[in-house]
Amino acid sequence: MALNYLNLVGNAELVKQLNYAMIYRLIIQQSPISRIQLAETSQLAPASITKITRQLLKKKLIKEVDTQQSTGGRPAVSIEAKFENYQSIAIQLSRAHVTIELYDLGGNSLVLKRYPLTDYTQRLAQNYLINLIELFCNEHSKKIKNLIAISVVMPGVIDSVNGIVRYTPHITVNNWPLAEILQQKFNVSTFVGNDVQSLALAESYFGSTQNVQDSILIRVHRGVGSGVIVNQQLLMNHNQSASEVGHIQVNPLGQRCHCGNFGCLENQVVNTEIENRAKLLIEQGYPSKLTIDKCDIVTICKLANQGDELAEKLIKNAGENLGRAVAIMVNIFNPQCIVLAGEITKSPEILLNAINSVLYSQSLQQLRENLSLNCSTLNDCSAIGAFALVQQALFSGSLLMTILESEK
């Protein structure tokens, strides 16, 4: 361990990258901030702060603004992040659509376009995606000053370190080197990741978990996925995957899951399962304003909020099953915050009450005392999760150094 630490310290380029990344992140998170404050917070020498900020100013990543209130002596100049000079393209490759969104470095959406996805083989999907990116760039060329990155997220097992799609449920792939292909085609840094894990990052950067160290995001849609943030870092393992919450058993007598187990969370709470259960109960004569033709998850949530007994029952049942899985996650990870995403959160009061009722009976009191449980305010149908991969690369310093070392 000691030898590895010495090697890390001795790597001047890595130390430089980490220092630049730390200062850039401090400027974003604490602006307006002076050079003196940067030196005090980072514990870097004032000369180092001057050098770093000079380079960031040169590349128009930051700007000097009105002077701060002086406490005596020469007034300090404030520094803020400057976002509008660089853009990135973020892409959500979902089961039926391709969402392409243009962001500035502040996470502000400049353009959003959604296209149908009908090609489900690696070669066809790859050609289609490249054509869509080219079309998007041509149509919005006036808004793209300096394209610095392309990021793509999708469900499945994604090797985000090497940019390889190992498995995705809606496209037949064979170790798809998507990041390398897009990087060669468009000559910009490219990132590929799992959609729900990336959404957890987005929640940490832009959503309700910005001010906590440890959090978990659980998204319910066609499947159930989660992302775990520990010390503000996405938890990953050797397989670039972690926390398959959808395959926690919540009902031993439930139907067999595709994973081979019985009664997995995913089989109990996904949209289609709730909708199918609604149809079954309607056919059995259960009184409700829901009808066979109109019992999609959005309608179920809407009527649940209006007091429809069947709709309430469906959301409550899903919440209780989620609560069993959430309790296990709380006992294992002891997060400060758990955030839920997906269409089912359109009935937040019923859902959260049901989850909490189970959570309080199946988790350790000491681990849930300061836990907050809420619904995401981010648009999880946008490509904000894909942009979070760009933000991660900026905050780690890898993409930041690419910008600083470019000739543009």
pLDDT at residue number 137: 97
94 neighbors 169 (Cβ within 8 angstroms)? no
- Confidence category of residue 2, pLDDT binned at 50, 70, 90: very low
- Confidence category of residue 1, pLDDT binned at 50, 70, 90: very low
As a whole number of Å, the CA-based R_g of the chain is: 23
Tell me the percentage of the chain whose pLDDT exceeds 70: 93
* Diameter over CA atoms, the chain: 80
Mean pLDDT of the chain: 91
pLDDT at residue number 262: 83
Burial of 334 (0-12, 13-18, 19+ CB in 10 A): middle
Whether the predicted model's global pTM rises above the 0.75 cut: yes
Domain 87-200+383-394 top-level CATH class: alpha beta
pLDDT in tens, 187-241: 999 999 999 999 999 999 999 999 999 999 999 988 898 999 999 999 887 665 6
In CATH terms, are 87-200+383-394 and 210-375 the same topology? yes
Strands (E), 35-177: 62-67, 77-81, 87-93, 97-104, 109-116, 147-154, 157-159, 164-167
β-pair type (157-159, 164-167): antiparallel
User: What kind of architecture, by CATH, is found in domain 2-81?
Assistant: Orthogonal Bundle (1.10)
Residue of 28, 73, 23 whose CA lies nearest to 48: 23
pLDDT at residue number 70: 55
Q: Does domain 210-375 have CATH number 3.30.420.40?
A: yes
Q: Where are the domains of the chain?
A: 2-81, 87-200+383-394, 210-375
